[in-house]
Structure 1
Amino acid sequence: MPVQDSELKFYKAASVNDTSTCGGKLSATEIVSGVKNNTFPDISQAERAAGTTRFRKIFSKIASAENLAFQNSKIFLERSTPGDDRIVMFPGTQTDTKADLTGSERLYGVGKLQSDVSVGEPSVIVITEAGADAIFQDGDLIRISNQDGVNDNTGKEEWIRLAASNAVSWNGDQATLTFLAGNVLANAYAATSTRVASVIEAGTIQPTVTGWSEISASGTYNEGTYPVVPNSIGTIKETWTLTFTNATNYTVQGSVVGSVGTGSIGGGDFAPDNINFTGHPYFTLKDAGWGGTWASGETIVFSTTPAAYPLWLQHIVPAGANSISGNAMRYAIAGESA
């Protein structure tokens, strides 16, 4: 069974605040779609008057029950806010915080068609909320859609690559986008209902194991034939140290989560449960991989990375912005199962 829509989830970062510590690693707190203030807090009257900018880090997580990779992943803003404020997004790292941001990050966002377009057009003109954000750049993949929602089968959607050079021409907040040679619109679109977004191409999203290191005089583990198996739901960003207490028994510690239990050679696969996602291990170490003779104090160290792509959202409220009830935006992910 392929990755299901219900397995495409967004999660908050470990630190959610307006200080330099905002961000960090993936948390266990899911962002539930359609819930007020699920990403950003309300903007006060004083903030609207003076203007303000907030950042929030989120993760697009592939919570595949079958441990499937999500390929050709595309993350985008499906709809911007209806208010005077605006939202842009940019890629993060598994561990970065607001203190690591430089202000020169490449921004992605969404705009509206300037006028109706017909089938076969080799370019479009898009009205953005701020040309200075430069949300479209040469070589971008863009999404054009008049769907009411990401899963709306009654609307139209297409993905088009921009030319590698001279593809974007700015006139204030208006961008003329020229497609890669040979690419034209497959559908006609009305300006009143169509959004055009620049797309973050996130590649393949899946949990990984890296940095394997064995320190032993004569003990071995065949990680080529019996690799450590990460879990799409349970795996986190962590460095693990397995330490032998005698020839057969070992303990396992995470650099952040601490002890996750003990195992033994011949005692079966070691699969410590992630307490935040019961029934889903941080990883599985196959018992069949052990060989040679291990001794007390000898170690294996490796790192894991979750099936989650890190993103930053930037909420920009210009000075003098009007108050609006029900202000909301929509971000989404699309892709293919392995």
Structure 2
Amino acid sequence: MAAAVERDLPLTGAPAGGAPATTGSAEGGHVEIEGLAAGYDGHRVLDLDRLSVRRGEFLSILGPSGCGKTTLLNAIAGFVAPESGRILVDGADITGLPPHRRGLGMVFQNYALFPHLSVASNVAYGMRVHRVPKRERAERVAEALRLVGLEEFADRRPRALSGGQQQRVAIARALATRPAVLLLDEPLSNLDAKLRREMRVELRKIQRSVGTTMVFVTHDQEEALSLSDRIAVLNGGRLEQLDTPDEVYRRPASRFVAQFIGAANVLEGTVREDLALDVGGLAVPVGLPDPVPGRKAVVAIRPERIRLAPAAGTGAATGVTGTVAYRSFTGGAWQVEVRTAGGLVLTVHVADSGAGSADPPGTGTAVTASWDPADLIVLDSGTGR
């Protein structure tokens, strides 16, 4: 579901510089991508049948290196000419327009601030290019800097700012031109872990405040899950899944998504007569819906949904017995690997419950790993359909 946002805020509205006239209906997406193919030197890296971005939405583009996510962003911005397909904003085809006539804003990974200009002059730069009158330009600069909390830094040079402050200047500069859509190319990747977490919150607040449609490219899954209204997962230039963060995580549309987003234990085997799953000779009770004995089936279970108990005395109906082969402390949780006699390895995340609580079983301990059947992700149910 797209974020609820207020309309007619000062920094929203028609972009400076002559964006295409609006011809689309309210039913269509704010940005529509149809049959888009793009690549470099004859090598195609992007092949999208369709992608729709809703008005006022924060959409993250996520996928492994080389999947086409930055190429997609650059194609929308006009820096990469597609081999085929169309890009529409508010129903108007912008595919053949140069970048400066698309009415879009962009925040680059390295921020691309001019070191010899002040913060205020950096924010005003795009408006000067589009010949926005001086008085209006000054008002928009002040407004944009207020939005990102940098009013008192207007006269400073970028080198006198922290990485997070520079990022906010880049966002203010993009928003000051009143773009129809704001494109962000991994803008948090140059920040340290603590500042990245802080800037996620700030970026989401800004987006909800102004209501601008944002398309955000990232390789960081935590960023995508925490920031987005929806996530588009790309694989090999194609769209694997487009959905809300919780749906993508809890109900992945494919084995690739299940293993790429977060972590997942994938169990692949044959349905037995007793309806358990034969995984390399090990009978794993999985509770498949309407399975057919003899059929192949594939399921997955998230590491944090697995419970560990002593091998003896557990009453779990769904589980496998094995030995702890590895255990490490990661701060908020323990990562544990359980290896069965048949060689199956399950990764388990056990939340740390505090210094006064017992740690999870140590290496060499016999345990039973179990889970609630409702937490099982069915990738192929074995029904043959």
TM range (shorter): under 0.3
TM-score by length of 1: 0.23
In the superposition, the TM-score normalised over structure 2's length comes to 0.21
Bigger Rg over Cα: 2
Which structure dedicates a bigger proportion of its chain to helix?
2
Select the structure with the greater relative contact order (CA < 8 A; seq sep ≥ 6).
Answer: 1
